[in-house]
Amino acid sequence: MPDLDAAAIVGVLNRHGVIYVVIGGIAAQLHDLPVPATVDIDVTPARDHKNLERLARAFDELEAGLYTGEAAGTWFPRTPVEQWAQYDTLHLMTTFGPIDIVFAPDGAPAGYSDLAKKAGRATLGDQPVMAISVPMWEVLKQATGRAKDLEHLDSYYESRRLDEWAQQRGAITLSSPCDGHRRPRGPAPGILE
């Protein structure tokens, strides 16, 4: 499996004019949230026919295959787009690593139209992207109900609580070299001072 190069993947999507929103772990990283590194990029594209045709051309350039036991994935026909556009999620392997195409994520049943309203501009590598907001990230994580997503939320809420605690006490915050998140200097809440 190739290592993830998310910037290269979105570069191809952008070059083909695909309309999409970044969700999942990469969106969390763009907001500097305390989540583990991710092995794939999750995107929600607009589902109109013209956008699906652009996405199919991007799949060709990415040499996208269905994510299976095969190292490069299993080839699938890109056209007509109706052969694959009917599914809510596609797990794909590309020359730049895995990508999940999530047309209707839990918590956003209308997909792109739900997410685009609450998305903002960001830069991934040198590529411009639209990424979901932190509140929408929370909604999607809560909606899945998966253990790993709930753990990500717990980490985020704990980080936020520590930041609020530090601000209330006027504590100096430092950036952690490991994860880039601000942490208070001094004892954490609940620790004897």
Residue 59 placed within a domain: yes
Do 46 and 121 reside in the same domain of the chain? yes
101: three-class secondary structure by DSSP: strand
Do 88 and 43 reside in the same domain of the chain? yes
Residue 1 placed within a domain: no
Q: What would you measure as the largest C-alpha separation in the chain, in angstroms? A: 65
Residue 190 placed within a domain: no
Do 126 and 156 reside in the same domain of the chain? no
Do 124 and 42 reside in the same domain of the chain? yes
Q: What is the pLDDT of residue 142?
A: 92
Q: What is the pLDDT of residues 50-65, one digit of tens each?
A: 999 999 999 999 999 9
More confident residue, 173 or 36: 36
What gap in Å lies between CA 138 and CA 148, rounded to an integer?
13
Q: What is the pLDDT of residue 178?
A: 37
Q: What is the pLDDT of residue 161?
A: 83
Do 124 and 161 reside in the same domain of the chain? no
Nearest by Cα to 81 from 125, 45, 114, 115: 45
Mean pLDDT across the chain:
86
Do 64 and 120 reside in the same domain of the chain? yes
Residue 72 placed within a domain: yes
Indicate the pTM of the whole model: 0.82
Q: What is the pLDDT of residue 167?
A: 76
Q: What is the pLDDT of residue 175?
A: 43
Query: Nearest 5°: CA angle at 87, between 47 and 138?
Result: 70
Q: What is the pLDDT of residue 23?
A: 97
Q: What is the pLDDT of residue 100?
A: 96
Do 72 and 157 reside in the same domain of the chain? no
CATH code of 89's domain: 3.30.460
More confident residue, 44 or 177: 44
Do 153 and 134 reside in the same domain of the chain? no
Query: What's the number of domains the chain is made of?
Result: 2
What gap in Å lies between CA 22 and CA 78, rounded to an integer?
22
Per-residue pLDDT, averaged over 36-47, amounts to 95
Do 131 and 72 reside in the same domain of the chain? yes
Q: What is the pLDDT of residue 172?
A: 54
Q: What is the pLDDT of residue 193?
A: 29
54 CB burial (10 A radius; 0-12, 13-18, 19+): buried
Q: What is the pLDDT of residues 68-109, one digit of tens each?
A: 777 767 888 888 898 898 899 999 999 999 999 999 999 999
57 CB burial (10 A radius; 0-12, 13-18, 19+): middle
Q: Give the domain range for residue 178.
A: 149-184
Do 40 and 90 reside in the same domain of the chain? yes
Q: What is the pLDDT of residues 138-189, one digit of tens each?
A: 999 999 989 999 899 988 988 888 777 777 777 655 443 333 444 333 333 3
